[in-house]
Amino acid sequence: MIKKYLLLYTMLGAVFPALAQTGHPATGSWSGDLIPFTAEDNQRIRLLIEAWDGELTGTINPGRRGVEIDSVSLEAESWTLTIEADMPDGKLVMEGKLTNLGSWTNRKYRGAYTIGDSKGTFDITLN
């Protein structure tokens, strides 16, 4: 009988951690704004980041006008995420930190970007 209880609790113990798995902290659908240093209007940006065999990949503004990301790299000690892509306006480089990693609804990716000759900051939230 003790063996049956042990089996039951082992099974339950396996179920609850499985429910808590959240995957790679950078993956998912993100939305936010590129905020230029000049007085131009903010530019809306969406990111879709996926992980395949530990390698990050993704798309900027997924959909009909989506642009494949050339490289995504995460420096895990500081949670610094760097994204590079060839956009119609020029090469986009975003470097920023992932924060609030424990949240499903308010995870942030904030930092600085350059696109062509334009520079600014960005503020992006996991959807």
Segment 40 to 79, residues that bind other proteins, using CB under 8 A: 44, 46, 48, 59, 61-64, 66
Residue 127 in contact with other proteins, rule: CB under 8 A: yes
Residue type, position 118, single letter: S
Hey, which residues does 82 pair with through a beta bridge? 73, 95
The sign of the CA dihedral 101, 105, 110, 116 is positive
Closest approach, Cβ 48 to other proteins, in A, equals 5
The sign of the CA dihedral 87, 72, 107, 23 is positive
- Running DSSP on this structure, what letter comes out for residue 12? H
Segment 7 to 26, residues that bind other proteins, using CB under 8 A: 8, 12, 15
Closest approach, Cβ 62 to other proteins, in A, equals 3
Query: Which chain residues interact with other proteins by CB under 8 A?
Result: 1, 4-5, 8, 12, 15, 29, 31, 44, 46, 48, 59, 61-64, 66, 127
